[in-house]
Amino acid sequence: MNIKYSRENITAKVNLVHRKLKQNIDKRYKSTEARLFPEGRNCYGVRIPITRKIAKKVFEEIKSSSKNDVFAVCEELLASKLHEPLVIAFQLAYELKKKYTKSDFKIFESWLKKYVRNWSSCDDFCCNTLGEILFQYPELLQKTFLWTKSSNKWLRRASSVSLIYSIRRKKNLKQVFKTANALLNDNDDMVQKGYGWMLKEASNHYPKEIFWFVMKKKEKMPRIALRYAIEKLPSKLRRKALK
C-alpha cells in the first residue's frame, strides 16, 4: 500500500537532502569539477559516490509512497538547478523503472527541457531514466527523433545518448543509424561527441555495421565524431577509417 505524502512531507524530504549535501561539500573537488564545464555548472561540490549514497538512502525512505509523490520530490530537487540534487532526482526516477508507463515520457521530456544544462546531467538522465523508458516503449523513439532538429543542443545530444541504453542491450540499431544520419553535420561539438559515443557503444555488438557506416559517411562526418565512433573497433579497421 502506498503512503500518501503531503506537500509538507515532500518539502521536508527535499530540505533534508540539501542539508545532507551541504554536510559533505568538498571544496577541492568543487574547484576541480568547475574546470570540466566551460559552459558552467552550479553545484555544492559533493563527490558522486557520496551523492549516490544519499540518493539510495532517500529512496529507501520514500519507496513506499506513490510514483507521483516520488516524482514530486524529484521535481523539487530539480528546481534547485544544482548538480547534486539533479543526480539524486534522476536516480530516484530510475529506481521506479518497473512502474513506468508510456505517459511518464511527457514528464521526463519536460525535465530534460527545463533542467538539463550540461553534458553530465544530460548523459546521466539519458543513460538511465530516459534510456529505460525508450527500451520499454520503443514507439516513443519517434518523439526523441524529433529532438535531432531542436535548437536546444542538449535535446539534440539526448536524441543519440538516450539510445545507448538500448544498444547496450542489442536493441534499436536501425534507430542508431537514423539518428546518426540526422545529426551527421551538426556543428556543436557536444552533439558530435554524443552521436559518436552512441556509435562507439553500438560497435561493441555490431563492429562491421558501424565500420561500414563510418566508411560511407566519413567524408561528411566531423573528425571528433568519427574518432569517438571508431574508438573500440579493431586497430586494422580504425586505420582504414582514418585514411
Q: Kindly state whether residue 111 falls inside one of the protein's structural domains.
A: no
Q: What is the mean pLDDT of the chain?
A: 93
| Domain ranges, residue 30 | 1-99
Q: What is the pLDDT of residues 21-60, one digit of tens each?
A: 999 999 888 777 666 666 666 889 999 999 999 999 999 9
Q: How many domains does the chain have?
A: 2
125 with 83, same domain: the answer is no
126 with 227, same domain: the answer is yes
pLDDT of residue 211: 96
54 with 91, same domain: the answer is yes
> In sequence order, which residues have a C-beta less than 8 Å from that of residue 173 and are 6 or more positions away?
167, 202, 206, 209
